[in-house]
């Protein structure tokens, strides 16, 4: 994958798309196998997000002569996560519109489900994903050597 994107300047878009594809693929597998209701399996979403952010940061460092300062790393990681999560949330909203039964299960099992609609539910997923991406980026920056 390194040589394919060696000279790309669109690292957040590329890796954000990979994050979205990973999240959508995992969701579809969970949905088709009936595991979508198991809340604990959502931790794998975090693994997909962290992997995408890590590879985006690594790619940025490789394409910029091993120069990665703290702010550049923060922007690259958060932008990758935001693109990936936003794309996944659009997909999830469409799924809620297609399969009303799945949305009804969410409403039934959520702590404040009676107040949810598809917009609020997907917005909550979006906010959770953005903050998870921010936290993952912050933690990964401390493991990747930055200039400053």
pLDDT of residue 108: 73
- How many domains is the chain partitioned into structurally? 1
State which residues of the chain have pLDDT below 70.
1-8, 66, 109-110, 113-114, 145-148
| Residue 137, number of CB atoms within 10 A of its CB | 24
Question: How many helices and strands in the chain, by DSSP H and E?
Answer: 5, 0
Residue 13's Cβ-count burial label (10 Å; 0-12, 13-18, 19+) is: middle
Sign for the CA dihedral angle at 67, 69, 75, 78 comes to positive
pLDDT of residue 25: 96
pLDDT of residue 10: 87
Judge whether 2 lies within some domain: no
pLDDT of residue 54: 94
pLDDT of residue 17: 96
pLDDT of residue 115: 74
Judge whether 146 lies within some domain: no
Domain enclosing residue 84, as ranges: 11-141
Judge whether 148 lies within some domain: no
């Amino acid at each position: 994958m390194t040589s394919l994107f060696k000279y790309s300047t669109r690292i957040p878009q590329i890796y954000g798309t990979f994050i979205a594809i990973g999240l959508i693929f995992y969701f579809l597998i969970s949905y088709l196998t009936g595991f979508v209701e198991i809340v604990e399996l959502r931790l794998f979403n975090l693994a997909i997000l962290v992997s995408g952010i890590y590879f985006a940061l690594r790619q940025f460092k490789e394409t910029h002569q091993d120069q990665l300062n703290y702010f550049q790393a923060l922007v690259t990681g958060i932008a990758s996560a935001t693109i990936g999560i936003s794309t996944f949330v659009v997909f999830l909203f469409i799924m809620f519109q297609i399969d009303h039964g799945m949305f009804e299960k969410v409403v039934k099992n959520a702590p404040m489900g009676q107040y949810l609609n598809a917009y609020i539910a997907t917005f909550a997923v979006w906010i959770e994903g953005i903050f998870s991406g921010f936290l993952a980026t912050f933690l990964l920056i401390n493991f990747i050597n930055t200039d400053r």
